[in-house]
Each structure stands twice: as structure tokens, then as C-alpha cells.
Amino acid sequence: MIQFTHYTQKIEAIEKILKNGFAYVPNKRSLITEFLPSHDFTKREPQQFGMVSFTELSPSQAENHRKVFGNYGIVVSEKWALAHKIQKVLYIDNTGPIYDCLRNLFQVAYNELKQKSLAREGEVTEMAYTNKVRAGIAGGYLYSNLLQLYEYMEPIKHLSHQEWRIVHPKPYYGYGETKADIISNVSPPKGWAQFLNVLPVKTDDIIGFICPENEQDIFKKTIPSEFTRKPIDIYLKPA
């Protein structure tokens, strides 16, 4: 069975997630320019509508992952993760036959989208290049499906993180400028953020936590009482 763990920087962040849910956060990967170098994607990448990331790494394997994402982990149940359509990330190199194949597919799909959109609507809106639903409406069915794949792609330099992700099911455009802004809108949820930008969890959805060995007591005191009986997997922080 795969263990899906979401790491974060502060114990207080764990508390907020348990109370309010995971915040969907956009993740710019800069892979699209490898596939379509002629198009300007500097303002928006395709399908940049937010995601929640997890790792399959065990605590003993996740030292380098924690250096990037934080020392405190929430382990969600496989049932919950699968219900929200979690998928293993596809790590893509920028050389080799797979890259060549993807680049060719994206170029063919891009040209097809442009031709069909011009024939149907007389123009190609920028949204058709960055939104899989809009691409499909414009007749770019291959491009639309490739954007679905793109949601789960990541540069191969991040392979060590062994990521799984749940992507936002809706085309949400209302994110703040920074990750801190985004999280502040859902901690506690404000306005439409509570419906559009939060992935909620219940007590049964959490199977345990991860924290440094010397912080187990304060961890238990900080998280909501209904979660304190969940097991806490501890590890020794490097000196």
C-alpha cells in the first residue's frame, strides 16, 4: 500500500489544514516551453489551476524532500486519495525519444487547435491554449487531452520527490499573487474560496502524522483534539 504524505513548514499549518482543508496551489513547471517554444506562455501555463502534492517516500527516505517542503507531515488514507483522483507525477526529461515524441505531439495538436479554432470561430483565444475545456470546445481534442497529461508532468530534476498530486477539478483563476496569499484565503476560508479552492479532510481521512522526534509532545498539543489519537511517526532530524 502506498503512503501518501503532505509535508509542510509549520505545525500550525498542519492545524489549519485539519480545520480548513488543503489549499490548492498553482505549480508553474515551465515544461510547456520545451514542447511549444514558439508560443509565449509567460503570463499563464496550461492548466495552472492549483494542486495538492503528496510524496510516497517513507519518513526515513524523505530527508531531502523535507528540506524543500517542511518537517511536518500529514498522511492521508489511500481511500481518500483515490476518491480525489490522485495520480503519480510523470517526470519528463528534455532529451531523448519520449521528449521528442511529446514535443511532436504537442506541435501537431497545437497546429490542429489553431486551424480548427480559426475555422469555427474566426480566431484563437489565448484561453484555448491554456485551458483543456476551452481547447476541446474550439475543436482541439488532441491538444485538450495533452493538457490533461500536462497537469501531472514535472521536470525530471524533481524526480527525487516521488510526487503524487491531486489537481483542481475546476478551472479556477482567482489565486493570490503568492503562496502565502493563497493559503490566507482558506485559513479560515473566505468567500468563494471555501467552495472553490479547498480540498477538505475529515478525521477518518487522516491515518497519521510525521514530525521530528523531539517535537512529538508539542505536535499533539497543537493539532485539533479529534486527531490526537492518530499515530505519529517520528524521525531524528539531522544535526
Give the mean pLDDT per block of 10 residues along the chain (239 residues).
94 93 88 95 91 96 96 97 97 96 97 87 85 93 97 96 95 64 54 65 96 94 95 86
- The grid cell for 63 is 530527508
pLDDT at 14: 95
Separation CA 168–CA 162 (nearest Å): 20
- The grid cell for 227 is 486527531
Identity of the residue numbered 151: E
Closest CA to 126 of 34, 50, 41: 41
Alpha helices in 151-207 (DSSP H): 179-184, 193-196
pLDDT at 205: 97
How much is the pTM?
0.88
